[in-house]
Structure formats: structure tokens, C-alpha cells
Amino acid sequence: MVNNPVVTKEKGDFLVRLRHSASHVMAQAVQDLFPGVKLSIGPATEDGFYYDFDYEGTFSPDDLPKIEERMKEIIAQDLPFIREEITKEEALKFFQERGEIYKVELLKGIEDERVTLYRQGDFVDLCRGPHLSSTGGIKAFKLLSVAGAYWRGDEHNKMLQRIYGTAFPTQEELDAYLARLEEAKKRDHRRLGREFDLFSINEEAGAGLVIYHPKGALLRTILEDFERREHLKRGYQLVMGPQILKLDLWKRSGHFDNYKEYMYFTKVEDQEYALKPMNCLAHMLIYKSRQRSYRDLPLRYFELGTVHRHERSGVLHGLLRVREFTQDDAHILCRPDQLHDEIRGILNFVKDVMAIFGFSYELEVSTRPEKSIGSDEDWEMATKALMDVLDEGDLAYEVNEGEGAFYGPKIDVKLRDALGRRWQCATIQCDFTMPERFDLTYIGPDGGKHRPVMLHRVILGAMERFIGILIEHYGGAFPLWLSPVQVIILTVTDRNIPYGEKVYQCLWQEGIRVEKDFRNEKLGFKIREAQMQKVPYMLVIGDREQRSETVAPRRRDGVDLKGMPVERFLALIREEGKLPGG
């Protein structure tokens, strides 16, 4: 586990100013060194900053040290960051004269009559700020990489060149961050996925489509079995919906109008269908299949539902961003008076599961986006319900304005892994609108029809994404209960193979996930290979173990345990390998 400094709000605000200032210094350095470069945008990010450039040449990693040296010269000049407020028309003229076409396009999209520029020395940028008082405040920075990025994230626009960097208040913090980056490279799930033979993504099959190899499929199955059991314990019912549904349903739900750019469509016998990007529609049809009483509620439908979303090829990334994935999706239909208890139950579920995997997490409430459906009243009730439960539980959260789902606000759970990185996984969405659109009702104690509320929620989120996060979180060294291979048997010589086979059969019949390495190779070589594969236990079988009918367990951390009978080892592994909560 890597320790990470706590970032307070005040420190977070300073980091934004620091990194935003560093992005402007980098842009100035790039324009100084590469005449003809045009500027687009250069924001601060959670871990650093970047700037996108339009340049006829090609930046390479070899250019980064030169840019860094020029940045140091600019920093040494201690140039003040000067804020200037001018009219939009003046700004348009200024950037048009400089040939800064991207700044002109940005200005044309701004409705305000006055805009702000920031100047350091001869460098001027369209910017709202904030910045440090001068370039000399930048003490520790590093340029990290070069990548391509479409202007405004649209693949139909020109491909620009993005230079990434980071900055910290002190050299010690920068060094610690760079060490975490190196560790992250070692843990990259794409590399470990190949080394451990877990999965592949083959261009012959299609971009963003995951092919699970035997060990990867077993890992996923273990997770899915864990999910089913935990949901059944909490009163969920297992359901399954079809992969395609008629287009009319997606129009009624609002997905066609608000989400169609992410959907795939097909036609069968002149009937239009869409592959499901979400699982909620089938769950509502199950609810609607018969009349419901207030006594039936809440109903909690759970599905490990595979969905398809049209993600642009430029954003696809290993298991973390794919086009086909499976969600641990559930929809809870409840009475309004049950809403708080159901939200609270989901939050407790999240807490229990994140503790099992060793994740800390933070909470955000995401509110109504511009592109949405439903009445203001429904959105206000849904948002209030989520915030009330968080407030009642004294749970800290931030408000993420305008980032809700198109049908309702949500609580987003941002977990932190062993390297301190944040990942979006669990979410709880409160929806008053879909039950209205699909005319979902229940009979109340007064004999009249009433409208239920629907909660959409996931705990792990997309299984593919969560597996990718787990691989990097554990560095491939999964806990025993989760390891696709729990034990590997290593023989010293060929004459030990018959006893090794006997031990293998004993473990296999007891449900232990066991492999054998009976190759005619040196024992040290076989041990190193097993350690590289992060197998939790190695059982060395030599002449001594064969004579005494024992095994010599060796843990993947290199610790040798004393020889013991097979039954004692079985008891040890059963205890350590218990499924959490089992």
C-alpha cells in the first residue's frame, strides 16, 4: 500500500492554481521553441495539467527535456501573471491577428460581452484563471508524455498533440508522485493481463471487445458468484433481460433522444431494435407484468446484465473503457416512504463491499444535466432524497453540478486504490421519471393507484472495469479467495510425479483451484515462474515429502512454511480462502 498525502480543500485550490499556471508556462515554452504552434486549451487536472497544440511537426518524448529547460528559464524570470479584462470583440480581434483559430472558436461560443486574458511576459492566453501571482511560484514540475487528442474530444475534428505534465508544491511531493507513476506502469492491467494470461482484446474481433482466457473467465466467475450471493442475502431477486428490445421502448424511455449516439441499432423483419445500453427497461417490464400491491414493495431486481455502448475508438482503454461490458445492475421499485431506507441500504452495501477489497472512497452528488427528462419538481424531490440520506448518516460529499443521468440525480462513489488513484464504480440514481413514462403503479392501502419510485444502482459497476482496477490495485497478487490459481504443485524430480499427482487430485477434489508444474526443470526456475505469476501458495514435492506423505508450502512472498500433512494444508487454505462474508 502506497501512502498518499491528504489533500485539503485549501491545498486542492492551490494545486489547481499551480498546475494551471504551469500549463501556461509550458505553452509559452512550446511557442518559443516551435514557431507556428497554435494553442487550444490547457487545463489543470486532478493529477497535473496538459495543453493541446496544433503543430505541423510531431512532438516526441525527446522534445520534453528541451521544453522543460525553457520552462525553467521562464520560471526563473519570475514573470507576474497579469489578469486583463477586455470586451469579447477586442479579444476576437487580438487572437485573429495572431492566427489563434482555436481561441477564436472558443470566443465565438462565449455569451459574455467581456472576457479575461492572462499575460506573463509576452505570452497571452484566453483564460478565466485562477493563477499564481508569478511564474516563480512554480517550484517542482515534470513533463510526462505526448499523446494525440481530437479538438473538443470529437473524432470528426482535427487531431491535436497533447503534452501532459504535473506540478507539486515541493520536490519531495513530485518525487513521490513520480514513484507512484512508475509503480502504476508496473501494475498496468493490460501488461499484467497478458503476463497472467487473463484476457485479450483482438482487433480481428473488434476494438473494445474483451476476450476472457481461462484464468480471466474464472476470476470473473468468482466475482459474479460473490455478487449473486451478496445480493440474495440482501433481498434482491435475480432477473435476466434480452440483449435487444424494440426501438419504440427506447423512444418511450428517453434513451433514443438523450443517448442514441452511444447506442447500436438493427432491424429484424422490418422491426427496428436497439442493443441495450442499460438494463432498466426489461426490469420495468417485469414489474409491469402483473398488478402490484403496496405490500409487495420494495422489489429489488438484480441482473448481471451485459450492455453495449458505442464508445469512440480514441477513448477505448484496456478493460477500463470498452464497448461491451457487464454491469452488476439492480433496480429497486419502492414506495416514496421507503425511499430513504433503500438508499441507506445501498450505501451500506457499498461500504461492506469496498471494505472487502480494501478500497476507501469518497461520495459526490451529481445534479440535473442540461440534456435531461422529467419535471423540475421530480428532480428536486430525487436530489433532496439522496442528500437527506447522506446528511442523516453524516456522510461527507461534494456536489457535482450538471453531471447526473438524463433521468435522475445520483450519488457517485469514487474509490481510491492502493496507489491513491480515484475510480468511478458504484452509483445510486434516484428516478421519479421512468415510472411515470412506463405508467408503473401499485395499489395503495386506500385502494387507489400510486406511482413507485425507482432506484438504479451498481455496486462494482462494469465487471470489466472493476477487474482492471483490481488487477492494478493488487498488482496481480489477488487475495486467496479471488485468485484464479490458489496453489501450484512443483516437483523436484520426475520420480516425485506420482506423489505430486496424488496431492493434486486430493486438492482438486476438495475444490481448491490448483495447477501442477511437473516439468523437468530446476526447482528454482519453477519457483521463480510461480512467484512471477503471483500464485498464493507453492507446494514443493521432493523425496522427503514423498516418503513422509507431506507437503512443503511456500507463500508467494517467499516465506517457507514447515512441512505438514495434506489435510493440515487443506484446513489452512480453507480458512484463509473463505469467501468474504461466508
pLDDT tens readout for residues 548-565:
999 999 999 999 999 999
pLDDT band at 507 (very low <50, low <70, confident <90, very high): very high
- Which cell numbers in the block locate residue 40? 487550444
pLDDT band at 31 (very low <50, low <70, confident <90, very high): very high
pLDDT band at 11 (very low <50, low <70, confident <90, very high): low
- Specify the pLDDT at position 4: 45
Contacts of 177 (CB under 8 A, 6+ apart): 47, 166, 168
Mean pLDDT within 534-559: 95
Amino acid at 403: E
Exposed, middle or buried by CB within 10 Å (0-12, 13-18, 19+), for 573? Answer: buried
- Specify the pLDDT at position 352: 95
Query: What is the DSSP pairing of strand 487-491 with strand 537-541?
Result: parallel
* Topology of the domain comprising 204-473: BirA Bifunctional Protein; domain 2 (3.30.930)
Amino acid at 236: Y
Quote the DSSP letter at residue 80: B
* Dihedral, CA of residue 55, residue 56, residue 61 and residue 66, to nearest 10: -70
Please say whether the beta carbons of 258 and 372 come within 8 A.
Answer: yes
pLDDT tens digits, one per residue of 247-256:
999 999 989 9
In the chain, list all ranges with CATH 3.40.50.800: 487-576
* Least confident span in 2-11, 189-198, 403-412, 436-445: 2-11
Q: How far apart are CA 368 and CA 290, in angstroms?
A: 32
Half-sphere exposure of 487 (CA within 13 A, CB side): 28
Q: How far apart are CA 14 and CA 495, in angstroms?
A: 67
Please say whether the beta carbons of 264 and 275 come within 8 A.
Answer: yes
516: left (phi over 0), alpha (psi -120 to 50) or beta: beta
- Specify the pLDDT at position 581: 59
CATH class, domain 487-576, is alpha beta
Q: What is the DSSP string of 163-220?
A: EEEEEESSHHHHHHHHHHHHHHHHH-HHHHHHHTT-EE--TTT-TT--EE-HHHHHHH
238: left (phi over 0), alpha (psi -120 to 50) or beta: beta
What percentage of the chain carries pLDDT values higher than 70? 97
pLDDT of 281 strictly over 70: yes
Please say whether the beta carbons of 266 and 449 come within 8 A.
Answer: no
Contacts of 4 (CB under 8 A, 6+ apart): 180, 416, 419, 420
- Specify the pLDDT at position 374: 85
Active site residues: 280, 309, 327, 329, 331, 410, 456
Please say whether the beta carbons of 24 and 441 come within 8 A.
Answer: no
CA 180 distance to own-chain centroid: 18
pLDDT tens digits, one per residue of 152-184:
877 788 999 999 999 999 999 999 999 999 999
Question: How long, in residues, is the chain?
Answer: 582
pLDDT of 98 strictly over 90: yes
- Report the chain's mean pLDDT, rounded to a whole number: 93
pLDDT of 264 strictly over 50: yes
Contacts of 312 (CB under 8 A, 6+ apart): 155
* Least confident span in 61-65, 388-392, 576-580: 576-580
- Specify the pLDDT at position 312: 84
- Specify the pLDDT at position 372: 87
Strands in 299-308's sheet, in edge-to-edge order, are: 237-238, 299-308, 324-334, 453-462, 422-431, 410-416, 360-366, 398-400
Q: How far apart are CA 498 and CA 519, in angstroms?
A: 13
Phi, psi of 526 (to 5 degrees): -70, -35
Q: How far apart are CA 488 and CA 17, in angstroms?
A: 52
510: left (phi over 0), alpha (psi -120 to 50) or beta: alpha
pLDDT band at 216 (very low <50, low <70, confident <90, very high): very high
- Specify the pLDDT at position 49: 96
Contacts of 263 (CB under 8 A, 6+ apart): 250, 255, 256, 274, 275, 277, 308, 309, 310
- Find, among 27, 35, 119, the residue nearest to 70 by Cα: 27
In the chain, list all ranges with CATH 3.30.930.10: 204-473
Helical axes 88-97 vs 101-108, angle rounded to 10°: 160
DSSP bridge pairs for 211: 200
Please say whether the beta carbons of 287 and 299 come within 8 A.
Answer: yes
Which residue stretches of 478-522 are H helix?
A: 497-509
- Specify the pLDDT at position 1: 38
- Give whole-number Cα distances, 530 to 477, 486, 516, 538, 555, in Å: 12, 11, 10, 7, 10
- Specify the pLDDT at position 582: 54
Phi, psi of 40 (to 5 degrees): -120, -90
- Which cell numbers in the block locate residue 108? 465565438
Quote the DSSP letter at residue 559: P
- Specify the pLDDT at position 204: 92
- Find, among 255, 242, 230, the residue nearest to 431 by Cα: 255
pLDDT of 284 strictly over 90: yes
Output 96 or 372, whichever has higher pLDDT.
Answer: 96
- Specify the pLDDT at position 307: 96
pLDDT of 7 strictly over 80: no
* Topology of the domain comprising 9-187: Threonyl-tRNA Synthetase; Chain A, domain 2 (3.30.980)
Mean pLDDT within 334-363: 95
Query: What is the DSSP pairing of strand 422-431 with strand 211-212?
Result: unpaired
Q: How far apart are CA 499 and CA 516, in angstroms?
A: 12
In the chain, list all ranges with CATH 3.30.980.10: 9-187
What percentage of the chain carries pLDDT values higher than 90? 86
pLDDT band at 8 (very low <50, low <70, confident <90, very high): very low
- Specify the pLDDT at position 5: 44
- Specify the pLDDT at position 214: 97
* Least confident span in 305-314, 482-491, 573-582: 573-582
- Specify the pLDDT at position 12: 61
